[in-house]
Amino acid sequence: MEKNFKPNPNSFKNTFCIFYEVDKKDIEGLAIQYDSKAGSKYYYTKLGMYRLSNHWGRLANSKWRLQPLELESESKYKLGFALWENFYQDNALEKLYYLEADFTKNTINYQHKCNPNYDSIAILRTSFETTKRIKQIRNLFNLTSWAQYFKNYDIAFLREKIITDMIYTDKTLEEIKRNYL
């Protein structure tokens, strides 16, 4: 990497980005370009940024998530890499986020509308609306008390239908549940 390489400053403020966990060997020989007060270390390349950190998620005014490797490591510090082009602008006012559910892992995550995998069908929401839906969907994944009124349905089937409706409609959770009573 070039010693004088400077990243785009727009990559750091008010951005959303998904970093993909990589092996720590990937930064061997690279110089630390920035060492944060919180202990994160940053390595810049022409293609993107490596970040070595023990904390991911909301960072100051950005949302940076780590997509972990399949094999869990015991280290608290994880190394993530993201291409410069995958830093998307974030703000609280615009409808920038959509939801993706993984029904095999019972997880829900939000994605940015600039993600090339966006199907243009899932409803876009603001950060606040997205956070609210995520909480509701996590409760649907983790709890079963909500299903006591739905005697005629298999819980797993009904859970998937309700969560899918929450992703692809603007209906409230209560409205969606009423459709299945």
Local confidence pLDDT in tens for the 181 residues of the chain: 445 566 666 677 899 999 999 999 999 999 999 998 999 999 999 999 999 999 998 777 899 999 998 766 677 899 999 999 999 999 999 999 999 999 999 999 999 999 999 999 999 999 999 999 999 999 999 998 998 888 888 999 999 999 999 999 999 999 999 998 8
Answer with the one of 61, 89, 117 that is the final residue of a domain: 89
In angstroms, the CA 2 to CA 100 distance is: 38
Interatomic CA distance for residues 87 and 54, integer angstroms: 20
Q: Domain count of the chain? A: 2
Residue 61 in domain: yes
pTM listed for this prediction: 0.88
- pLDDT of amino acid 7: 67
133 in Cβ contact with 172 (< 8 Å)? no
Tokens of 122: 């899932």
For residues 134 and 70, membership in a common domain is answered with no
Q: 134 and 99 in contact (C-beta within 8 Å)?
A: yes
Do residues 103 and 140 share a domain? yes
Q: Is 148 inside a domain boundary?
A: yes
pLDDT for res 140: 97
Residues 131, 173 share a domain: yes
pLDDT given for residue 5 in this prediction: 62
Helix residue spans in 5-154 (DSSP H): 127-142
- Confidence (pLDDT) at 82: 96
Strands 62-67 and 15-21: parallel
For residues 168 and 134, membership in a common domain is answered with yes
Q: Tell me if 2 is assigned to some domain.
A: no
Same domain? 174 vs 104: yes
Q: Strands 107-112 and 97-102, how do they pair? A: antiparallel
Question: Which structural domain, as residue segments, surrounds residue 60?
Answer: 9-89
The per-residue pLDDT for 1 is 43
For residues 32 and 30, what is the distance between their CA atoms, to the nearest angstrom? 7
Look at residues 38, 63, 89 and tell me which one is the last residue of a structural domain: 89
Q: Per the domain annotation, does 1 fall within a domain? A: no
In the listed set 57, 89, 121, which residue is the last one of a domain according to the structure? Answer: 89
